[in-house]
Amino acid sequence: MSATRYTYLGPEGTFTEAALRTLPEAATRELVPMVSVPAALDAVRNGEAAAALVPIENSVEGGVTATLDELASGEPLMIYREVLLPIAFALLVRPGTKLSEIKTVTGHPVAQPQVRNWLRAHLPEAVWESAASNADGARLVREGRFDAAFAGEFAAATYGLDALVTEIHDAENAETRFVLVGRPARPAAPTGADKTSVVLWLGDDHPGALLELLQEFAVRGVNLMLIQSRPTGAGIGNYCFAVDAEGHISDRRVGEALMGLKRICPKVRFLGSYPRAGVSVEDVSALRRGTSDVEFMEASDWLTRAQDGRA
């Protein structure tokens, strides 16, 4: 395995590359762009790279399905870190292009919902066609296949384009969450401001099946930050659920919730416990009464005494 190589969703000039370069260790790693999320993750699975940075959630469009599906299937991988990156687009064009001349535009499919209103207001007749990534859209503009691309302003220099309009976003404070993914290993020690990600499969379809999963978290005071259903491929109505929960697997409330889920789910895939980006211990809400590690241990001690006739 190449311990110094990180892959990412390419080509050069993507928001994913910009997010990766915010990590301190990126300065000492070989950063290799890949054509897709599956390709970036497969490079980790087969030992060509130590880790991959891929997008997993957008504050406008929600979960990035390609990443969620890849993490739910295939050889297991683990999330070790997350990165939050503010997202604003620039309209990149070949030098000399005027706004009135733009008839075709491109960008990553996740970009379209973030610029839809701007397009409607400024380029209502322009035809949109998706690209593999925003940076790939910029490459296609350079090659003359489209008139303009929505990408990061930083991609303009890479592809010899001009940023005709900058700071384009329909939603203020839009951001994308990226995750650094590697091969499974022991999670890092808890920080007090952590997140745990899992994928859960329902045993069978019956009234309250999803509620049973959620109750395993609720009764232990574990707050959920994301839950998204994804088809398993086994037929209509067969779904698994990607879940992000507050806390670390070593926290008693989280660990016991996962044990409860393991008892009732035919399959549980642990995707990692890792520090929450941009959140300090001081920002974390106080635990509800009865959900701290101390209270779990006190309850366990009480049960032992009761079993010994000393309760």
- The pLDDT tens digits for 108-160 are 888 898 999 999 999 999 999 999 889 999 999 999 999 999 999 999 999 99
Q: Which amino acid is at 141?
A: V
Quote the tokens at residue 71.
Answer: 């993490």
CA–CA separation, 297 and 310 (whole Å):
16
Looking at per-residue confidence, does 242 or 231 come out higher? 242
What's the whole-number mean pLDDT along residues 272-283? 90
Q: Looking at residue 232, what is its pLDDT?
A: 83
Cis peptide before 33 (omega within 30 of 0): no
Contacts of 201 (CB under 8 A, 6+ apart): 232, 240, 241, 265, 266, 267, 268
Per-residue pLDDT band for 310 (boundaries 50, 70, 90) equals: confident
pLDDT score for 273: 98
17 — pLDDT class (breaks 50, 70, 90): very high
What confidence tens digit (pLDDT) does each residue in 55-64 have?
999 888 888 8
**Entry pTM:** 0.88
Please report which confidence band the pLDDT of residue 3 belongs to, taking 50, 70 and 90 as the band edges. confident
Whether the predicted pLDDT of 101 surpasses 70: yes
Q: Check whether 249 has a pLDDT greater than 90.
A: yes
pLDDT-derived band at 100 (thresholds 50, 70, 90) equals very high
- Residue 30: pLDDT band (50, 70, 90) is very high
Question: pLDDT, tens digit, for every residue of 79-89?
Answer: 999 999 999 99
Average pLDDT over residues 216-226: 95
pLDDT band of residue 263 (cuts 50, 70, 90) is very high
**pLDDT at residue 1 in the model:** 53
| Percent residues over pLDDT 70 in the chain | 99
Summarised one tens digit per residue, pLDDT across range 156-172 is 999 999 999 999 988 88
176: tokens are: 């994308």
How far is the C-alpha of 155 from the C-alpha of 183, rounded, in Å? 30
- Please give the Cα distance from 133 to 181 (Å, whole number): 19
* Token pair listed for 268: 């549980």
